Amino acid sequence: MGTAVDAATKGANGGLLDPKKVKVVFVLGGPGSGKGTQCANIVEHFGYTHLSAGDLLRAEIKSGSENGTMIQNMIKEGKIVPSEVTIKLLQKAMQESGNDKFLIDGFPRNEENRAAFEDVTKIEPEFVLFFECPEEEMERRLLSRNQGREDDNIETIRKRFRVFLESSLPVVEYYDSKGKVKKIDAAKPVGEVFEAVKVIFSKQD
């Protein structure tokens, strides 16, 4: 008797994830704020699984699946990939990981992403780890990473930064109003930044 209901509830949150048991931390910060480096440190020290929305989309495109082709075409046309598509990829990766603690990096990118994630997965993040970094510092870091291509990159970098401010900051503000944002001064050296990160995560476990 219970099987149909079980199947329905499984379908409702996309599989075997129990929203009550799953711990999700959204990691947000502008381009060059050092999120990737710190996520790697958190994985190593605190046993989280790191999921990057961008990496998952790129992997799906590479796989050559029908879904991947659709994503590729949307990106080519300059359209935003629908929230549901990204969320399904995140859910699949979460289920396959065998873990119940996740860092979701670079997502939600906007309010619509955020609302859809909570609606589809029934998961609210434990908190948002927000890497605050002045634009000049992020610019400096990105330019030193892209040596020799400075001229064509400065505009791209500034554009990415503007998009981040317009789209992602409302997400940070929403969670801030719920007392769920942990801000990190990301302009400091990597080691110091991780010390601040460690304090936050030590209190969680």
Binding residues for a ribonucleoside 5'-phosphate, as ranges, are: 58, 79-81, 106-109, 149, 160
Contact in structure between 17 and 123 (CB atoms under 8 Å): yes
Binding-site residue ranges for ATP: 32-37, 145, 188
Q: List, in order, residues 6 or more apart from 57 with CB less than 8 Å away.
A: 71, 75, 81, 86, 89
User: What residue numbers does the annotated binding site for CMP cover?
Assistant: 113
Q: Residues annotated in the binding site, as ranges?
A: 32-37, 58, 79-81, 106-109, 113, 145, 149, 160, 188
- Helices 150-177, 135-145: crossing angle, 10 deg rounding: 140
21 φ/ψ angles, rounded to the nearest 5 degrees: -100, -20
Query: How many whole angstroms separate alpha carbon 31 and alpha carbon 91?
Result: 24
